């Protein structure tokens, strides 16, 4: 009975969003060289390995060693390199493991189901846990941010990362509360919100947006994406595919703008008689509108509801 529960639990962490659509969009085949820069529990990587076969190569990257430890033995293959690191270090990782160029690169952004369901680091507000929110080791924790950031800086991250209404009032409330008692657990923050939010705000998932803003600040998520995307394009072969899945508007807007900028040729002002910028297109955008989950996928994986996938091809 215990073994059955463990098997079920392990299976549940492997639910990957837009898995079939991602494989199709990567346009990979036997022998392809691929990078999965957000390995998670390996859901996408499994499908990639099945497609590229023994003659292909896979570089799989994730910053959370605890997730890798859960599934590492399954991916102990000669043609798979599994690395614990930030994907913003892609060029160094590729160089250190003898990857020169890739036929396809995948980024599945945001928090993984494994991190949500294993609440040791406080990614969910539904149970008591440390206010950590780090996807990997080192760096700031959410508790440190709440206890040490200025009122102005707290308000800025709440507004910038999650469009939180009354962000200034929330920041002031936090600063007042920490004078009496430092924030340490998820319940400390949730209790503050419980006593302050009105009914309408609670219905609009104000809790989730506060957690999102803190998590993005802790992990420098937008900065990571910008640095990772730039390196990914540089390391793609001609006709190689860049596939990016995002889960909230801040991520999607960043990805959309990045691909759009890469698709532009000359960016000189229109009044210039000739080009002096030297800018050339590096990507062709293949998704005028993002690919979203089907109704069937939404039925068995509710967490996919906000997913958007954008695809570009190196030119």
- Three-class SS of 127-172: CCCECCCCCCCCCCCHHHHHHHCCHHHHHHHHHHHHCCCCHHHHHH
**183 and 303 in a common domain:** no
Residue 18: CATH number of its domain: 3.40.50.150
**237 and 106 in a common domain:** yes
**23 and 172 in a common domain:** no
**159 and 234 in a common domain:** no
> Mean pLDDT throughout 81-105?
98
Mean pLDDT value across the chain: 92
Where a domain ends, among 162, 194, 219?
A: 219
| Per-residue pLDDT tens digits for 24-38 | 999 999 999 999 999
- Residue 11 confidence class, pLDDT cut points 50, 70, 90: very low
* 129 vs 302, residue with greater confidence: 129
- Asked whether residue 1 carries a pLDDT value surpassing 80, the answer given is no
| Domain assignment of residue 277, given as a range | 2-114+221-314
Q: What is the pLDDT of residue 14?
A: 53
* 211 vs 4, residue with greater confidence: 211
| Per-residue pLDDT tens digits for 202-258 | 878 899 999 999 999 999 999 999 999 999 999 999 999 999 999 999 999 999 999
Laid out side by side, the sheet with 102-108 consists of 80-84, 57-62, 33-36, 102-108, 236-246, 308-314, 283-285
Q: What is the pLDDT of residue 9?
A: 42
**154 and 33 in a common domain:** no
Residue 155: CATH number of its domain: 1.10.150.170
**103 and 252 in a common domain:** yes
**234 and 153 in a common domain:** no
**231 and 104 in a common domain:** yes
Domain count, the chain: 2
**102 and 29 in a common domain:** yes
Q: What is the pLDDT of residue 111?
A: 84
**110 and 228 in a common domain:** yes
**135 and 83 in a common domain:** no
Where a domain ends, among 169, 199, 219?
A: 219
Q: For the whole model, what pTM was predicted?
A: 0.91
Radius of gyration (Cα) for the chain, nearest Å? Answer: 21
Where a domain ends, among 163, 196, 219?
A: 219
């Amino acid at each position: 009975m215990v073994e059955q529960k463990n098997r079920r639990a392990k299976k549940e962490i492997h639910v990957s969003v837009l898995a079939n659509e991602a494989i199709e969009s990567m346009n990979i085949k036997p022998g392809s060289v691929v990078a999965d820069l957000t390995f998670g529990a390996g859901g996408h990587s499994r499908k990639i390995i099945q497609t590229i076969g023994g003659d292909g190569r896979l570089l799989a990257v994730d910053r959370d060693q605890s997730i890798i430890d859960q599934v590492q033995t399954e991916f102990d293959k000669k043609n798979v390199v599994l690395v614990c690191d930030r994907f913003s270090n892609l060029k160094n990782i590729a160089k250190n493991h003898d990857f020169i160029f890739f036929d396809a690169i995948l980024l599945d952004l945001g928090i993984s189901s494994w991190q949500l369901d294993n609440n040791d680091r406080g990614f969910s507000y539904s149970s008591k846990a440390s206010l950590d929110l780090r996807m990997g080791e080192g760096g700031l924790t959410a508790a440190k941010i709440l206890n040490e950031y200025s009122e102005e800086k707290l308000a800025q991250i709440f507004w910038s990362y999650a469009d939180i209404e009354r962000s200034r009032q929330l920041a002031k409330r936090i600063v007042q509360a920490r004078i009496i008692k430092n924030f340490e657990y998820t319940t400390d923050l949730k209790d503050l919100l419980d006593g302050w939010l009105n009914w309408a705000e609670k219905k609009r998932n104000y809790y989730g947006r506060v957690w999102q803003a803190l998590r993005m600040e802790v992990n420098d998520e937008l900065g990571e994406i910008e640095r990772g995307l730039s390196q990914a394009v540089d390391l793609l072969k001609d006709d190689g595919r860049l596939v990016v899945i995002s889960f909230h508007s801040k991520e999607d807007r960043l990805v959309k703008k990045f691909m759009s900028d890469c698709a532009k040729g000359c960016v000189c002002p229109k009044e210039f008689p000739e080009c002096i910028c030297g800018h050339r297109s590096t990507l062709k955008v293949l998704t005028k509108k993002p690919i979203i989950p089907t109704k069937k996928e939404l039925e068995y994986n509710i967490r996919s509801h906000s997913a958007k996938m954008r695809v570009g091809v190196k030119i």
